Chain A
Amino acid sequence: NSEMFRNQYDTDVTVWSPQGRLHQVEYATEAVNQGFVCLGVRNENFVVLAALKRSPNDLAAHQRKLQKIDNHMGIAMSGLTADGRSLVKYMRTEALNNKYVYNTPIQGSRLVADLADMHQQCTQSYVRRPYGVGLLIATYDQTGAHLYATEPSGNYFEYYAMAIGSRSQTSRTYLEKEFEAHAFAGCSQEELIKHALKALAASLAGDMELDKKSASIAIVGKDVPFQIVENDGIQRYLDMIVVEGEAEVDTEMVIENPVV
């Protein structure tokens, strides 16, 4: 029933629907869900971000979805990447300013809280629209490794692992299973990267495969400054998970086809 009257209350972000919803904010979240998937996963020492890059056509380069904010912080974005770039600019300015005034890398939780406030302001203004981008923020600061996600609504949460964007549910399912099994505790950098790539592969449509042009990862952690791995650099990780995937398939076949 609420869907029927949606159109009457969804033109301005400053208008509530009778069901107590802000439809414009929900539409903005829809924009995030339409973007290509990106995900993050962390343990006590490292945070890994992974993103699926897309290119508008074969002649174009793939669009960058992972951005460095500072040596100890980076983000992945999903949705309107132009909105994302504007937020990245803000974050970089804040991080640099903090380094100048306090001679310390900015505390992740503080920056994310400010970011979320910025998002919220756009949901309560007549002259602005909500940001149509979801950010996953990976940071390693004075209180350890953290992964945060912001939404167009201005809400933000901290996660052990999270995936956003189109078909991200399958990625989330993989991450939840792995988290329940071992919570990624004690994983090395390499193991964490492989988990991220496997989760990324889980969200691919049909017969698409991860290749070095479309897959990208970034890692930050204890004694590991934020760095993006893509193109040729990522091929060796892709090879690793292909080998493991084949090994898994082989063992399954043995079980299902008992030797007579």
Chain B
Amino acid sequence: NPNHRCMHLEVYQFLLFLIASSINILITNATINMFAPSNPTTQTTQPIVTGTTILGIKYNGGVMLAADTLASYGSLARYKDVRRIQKVGDRTLVGASGEMSDFQSIMEMLEEMHQSDMNQSDGYFHTPCEFFNYLRAVMYQRRNKGNPLWNQLLVAGCDKGKAPFLGYVDLIGTAYEENFIATGFGAYLAMPLIRERWSADMDEGEARALLEDCLRVLFYRDCRASSRIQIAKATSEEGTLISEPYELATEWETANYDVRHPTTVALDGSSW
């Protein structure tokens, strides 16, 4: 699916849109800096505190989300214990990349929906699919107003006795459902690994191992990733379960920029 590969393009497209709409003001103000945000107090123009990849895969019996617990402040690894995967109600998980404050705002919105369900006390609760579609409508509406919630979200969940659900929705309102999804750098680094190893009847152990391997590769290669990770699952019988954060085992012996372990690399330390 070609749409899945252009994950970052639309972010730049969005910036271009904002720039185009502010060119008029820039010209009149005779300023040269094209990237100066024109309405930062009323419209989101760039994310500040950000989370990186979220991974999601369906397996035999449920669906899993995985992420690290880092929120970066630009290039600073600032908040080391951020829960980027959270649950809504008993059956739904939401994972977010991008601006963390917007994620908090989204969680408030979803919590309100769930609270309203509880107050009705008629035995009916919104399903993962309904939370997903609600977010889709909200994200697209915000995009149309030029004030997006700067996130790429994975919504996962499993209703009792029903098939597992996994969906993606992002800051410009793109929304789709799939068997496995990765946001951010994961789309480039993790997806090939998942494509090779995924099958519809994977069991939980296999799924967990696959996700850990992907997160390890991401920690090696994504500069905004950390090795402190969480894996969450949603199953038909047990509802949702989010693990406590734990450290991934990593190996740096093969790092070929280290002169203690010379390998066949170019003298300038680069490697292909």
- Which residues between 124 and 139 of chain B lie within 8 Å of chain A, taking CB atoms? 124, 126-127, 129-130, 132-134, 137
A143: chain B residues at CB < 8 Å are 123-124
Q: How far does the alpha carbon of A107 sit from the alpha carbon of B125 in the complex, in Å?
A: 10
- Size category of the A interface is 10 to 19
Interface string of A194-236 (1 = CB under 8 A from B): 0000000000000000000000000000000000000000000
Q: Is B196 in contact with chain A by the CB < 8 A criterion? A: no
Chain A residues within 8 Å of B, Cβ to Cβ: 100-104, 107, 109-110, 113, 142-143
Residue contact A103 to B120, C-beta cutoff 8 Å: no
**Pairwise interchain contact B133-A102, C-beta atoms closer than 8 A:** yes
Number of A-B contacts (CB under 8 A): 31
Contact mask B109-127 → A, CB, 8 Å, 1/0?
A: 0000000000010111011
Cα A100 to Cα B133 in complex, Å, equals: 8
CA distance A101 to B135 in the complex (A): 9
**Cα(A107)–Cα(B137), bound, Å:** 19
- Complex: A143 Cα to B127 Cα, angstroms: 12
Name A109's closest neighbour in chain B (CB-CB).
B122
Specify which chain B residues have a CB less than 8 angstroms from the CB of A103 in the assembled complex: 129-130, 132-133
Can you list 30 A-B pairs with a CB-CB distance of less than 8 A?
A: A101-B133, A101-B134, A101-B137, A102-B126, A102-B129, A102-B130, A102-B133, A102-B134, A103-B129, A103-B130, A103-B132, A103-B133, A104-B127, A104-B129, A104-B130, A104-B133, A107-B122, A107-B124, A109-B120, A109-B122, A109-B124, A110-B120, A110-B122, A110-B124, A113-B120, A113-B122, A142-B124, A142-B127, A143-B123, A143-B124
Query: In the complex the two chains form, what is the Cα distance from A204 to B246 in whole Å?
Result: 74
Smallest CB gap from B162: residue in A: A142
Distance of B148 from chain A, by nearest CB (Å): 18
Min Cβ gap A15→B in Å is 32
**Smallest CB-CB A-B distances: 4 pairs:** A102-B130, A103-B133, A109-B122, A101-B137
* CA A111 to CA B133, docked complex, whole Å: 19
**SS of B interface (majority):** helix
CB-CB under 8 A from A110, the residues of chain B are 120, 122, 124
B-chain residues with CB within 8 Å of residue A104 when the two chains form the complex: 127, 129-130, 133
User: Closest Cβ of chain A: how far from B110's Cβ, in Å?
Assistant: 13
Residues of A within 8 A of B134 (CB): 101-102
On chain A, the residues within 8 Å of B137 by CB distance are 100-101
Shortest B178–chain A CB gap in Å is: 16
CA distance A169 to B123 in the complex (A): 32
Which chain B positions have C-beta within 8 A of A107?
122, 124
Q: Which residues of B contact A101 (CB under 8 A)?
A: 133-134, 137
Residues of A within 8 A of B132 (CB): 103
CB distance from B169 to the nearest CB of A (A): 12
With most chain A CB atoms within 10 A of its CB, the pick from B120, B126, B133, B137 is B133
Tell me the bound Cα distance from A113 to B119 in angstroms: 13
Within the complex, what minimum Cβ distance (angstroms) separates B240 from chain A?
A: 19
Across-interface contacts of A100 in B (CB, < 8 A): 137
Which of chain A's residues has its CB closest to B132's CB?
A103
B241 → chain A closest CB, angstroms:
24
Q: How far is the CB of A109 from chain B (nearest CB, A)?
A: 5
Interface string of B133-151 (1 = CB under 8 A from A): 1100100000000000000
Closest to A100 in B: B137
Expressed in whole angstroms, the Cα–Cα distance for A142 and B122 within the complex equals 12
Shortest distance between the CB of B151 and any CB in chain A (Å): 19
CB closest residue in chain B, given A141: B124
Residue among A100, A101, A102, A110 facing the most chain B CB atoms (10 A cut-off) = A102
Task: List, in ascending order, chain B residues with CB within 8 A of A109's CB.
Answer: 120, 122, 124
Chain A's closest residue to B116 (CB) is A110
In the complex, what distance in Å separates the CA atom of A104 from the CA atom of B137? 13
In angstroms, Cα B260 to Cα A21, docked, is 93
Closest CB in chain A relative to B142 CB, distance in Å: 14
In the complex, given contacts A103-B129, A103-B130, A109-B122, what are 14 additional A-B residue pairs having Cβ atoms less than 8 angstroms apart? A101-B133, A101-B137, A102-B134, A103-B132, A104-B127, A104-B129, A104-B133, A107-B122, A109-B120, A109-B124, A110-B124, A113-B122, A142-B127, A143-B124
